Structure formats: structure tokens, C-alpha cells
Amino acid sequence: MKNKIVMANWKMHGRRAFAAELVGQMRADTVINRPEVCLAVPMVYLDEVGRLLAGSAIGLAAQDVSARVTDGAYTGEVSAAMLADVHCTSVLIGHSERRQYHGEDGPVLRAKVEAASTAGLSVVYCIGETLEQREQGGWESVLAGQLDILQGLDMSRLVVAYEPVWAIGTGRVATLDQIREAHAFIRHYCLQTLKAPDSIRVLYGGSVKPDNAGEILALDEVDGALVGGASLDYAAFRKICEAA
């Protein structure tokens, strides 16, 4: 047990009954029911899952948040204060699917991080390069650019998730050397350029499964995993938590 973080990202999957069954299994299981485990569930089920998790050690996260801080005429938006009100302790910001399908970029992501921090939520800020950017050899500058938007912000409750876009949902995992190298780069950049505290944690995400979780989570540079597909399966997620 290395106390590494395991964050589940259900994305847009499941219904009420699925959530209730999965959460019931997880909270009854001491391998999963630990403070290092957190579930990022669809917005509409946050309140219910929060109630199901009450009294357990498992954290609850949203997959996105509005950049708007004060209530107002922002149709469809959900504020950080609302997330905190329905038991969330953290929020994913900047997931590649938000960047890709919703055009989210630097200024809006910075505003979201600020809004989440103001409401007392921890932030899991996701970054990662595309396959083309990696093949062109520019992954460091891509990651640096994505991190730079955090300049001047309080980094004390921020976790970075390195998720190479080409490894998300594809079954294609970064090699251990690639993960080690990218995590070392991110950590150094956060400490030196963003003045993050030494305690900053960097998670890996991208096709983490039971059969590769052990070797990925064993890396010193990896402080945990962000798990998409495999987090929807109790037995698979349990094995990943066991490796953490």
C-alpha cells in the first residue's frame, strides 16, 4: 500500500441503478473504500452518489465546473459552490475531451481552476499532448503551455493528471519510460516555474487497466492514476486500487 491516488472518471456512462450498485460494491470493499480513492461521476448523479458515499472514505468529484463564480443567468452551467453543496470535494478540469469537444482552452480553464479553488474544491488539472505533437517532438512545450495558464495561482490543492491524448480510451498505453520522462518534466516545471509546493502530485491517465496498473503505479514519478473505462467495472477497478 503506497497511498497512491486512484481517481475514477465515469465520463458520460451509467444510470441511477448502475451508480447505486457500483458505489454499493465499492464502499463495502476496504480495498476501494480509502481516502485516496475518488469518483468523478456524471453531474446529474453527484448528489445521489454523494449520499451513497456518506460516511465512507471515498471522495466525490465532478467532471467539469462553470468558470462563473456568482449565481446568475448562465443557462446549463453548474457552479463550484453548487458542486460543493452536493458533497463534491474535487473536480476534474481541462480533460482532453473538454478541450477537444468543447473548445476549452487557457483562459477559461484558468477561470475554472480559480472558481473551484474559491469554493474550496481540490482540482485535478488534466494535461496531455496529441499523437501528432508527440511525433513532432514537441510534447514538452505542449505540456508547458497547458501548465502555464496556472501561473500565479495557488497550487497547494491542485493535482496534475498527465493524460497523453493518444492513450485515452485507445488501449494504447505510454511506455514506462515515456511516463517517467513526462512526469519528471511536469513535476520539475510545477516546482520551478509555477512555484508549486513539493507535495504536488502527478497522476497518470490513459488506458490504465488491471494488467498494467501495477507497473505504472510502481513508478516513483507516478503519484496515482486517473482511470476511465476500467473504473466502470468493479472487479477491474478493485485490481487497480489494489496496485495503488
Q: Does 229 bind ligand PEP (CB under 6 A)?
A: yes
Give the whole-angstrom CA distance, residue 232 versus residue 244. Answer: 17
| String of DSSP letters for 38-86 | EEE--GGGHHHHHHHHTTSS-EEEES---S--S-SS-TT---HHHHHHT
Of the candidate spans 113-121, 161-169, 180-188, 212-220, the one that interacts with ligand PEP by CB under 6 A turns out to be 161-169
The count of residues interacting with ligand PEP (CB under 6 A) is 14
Q: Shortest distance, CB of residue 210 to ligand PEP, whole angstroms?
A: 12
Any binding-site annotation on 166?
Answer: no
Site string for ligand PEP, 37-76 (x = CB under 6 A): ----------------------------------------
Chain centroid to Cα 57, Å, comes to 18
Any binding-site annotation on 139?
Answer: no
Any binding-site annotation on 228?
Answer: yes
Q: Does 164 bind ligand PEP (CB under 6 A)?
A: no
Query: Of 36, 104, 163, 183, which is the active-site residue?
Result: 163
Catalytic residue status for 215: no
Q: Shortest distance, CB of residue 10 to ligand PEP, whole angstroms?
A: 9
Catalytic residue status for 163: yes
Residue 32 in grid coordinates: 476501494
Query: Of 36, 95, 129, 183, which is the active-site residue?
Result: 95
Q: Does 146 bind ligand PEP (CB under 6 A)?
A: no
Give the whole-angstrom CA distance, residue 81 versus residue 71. Answer: 9
Q: CA 116 → CA 88, 123, 130, 141, distances in Å?
A: 11, 7, 26, 26
| Residue closer to ligand PEP, measured from CB, 35 or 169 | 169
Give the whole-angstrom CA distance, residue 81 versus residue 58. Answer: 20
Residue 57 — φ and ψ, nearest 5°?
Answer: -90, -10
Please identify which residue in 39, 147, 158, 226 interacts with ligand PEP, judged by CB under 6 A.
226
Site string for ligand PEP, 166-195 (x = CB under 6 A): --xx--------------------------
Contact 80, 121 (CB under 8 A): yes
Burial 109-137 (b: 16+ CB within 10 A, else e): bbbbbbbbbebebbbbbbbbbbeebbeee
Q: Does 123 bind ligand PEP (CB under 6 A)?
A: no
- The residues annotated with a catalytic role in the active site are 95, 163
Q: Annotated binding site for substrate: which residue ranges?
A: 9-11, 169, 207, 228-229
Q: Annotated binding site: which residue ranges?
A: 9-11, 169, 207, 228-229
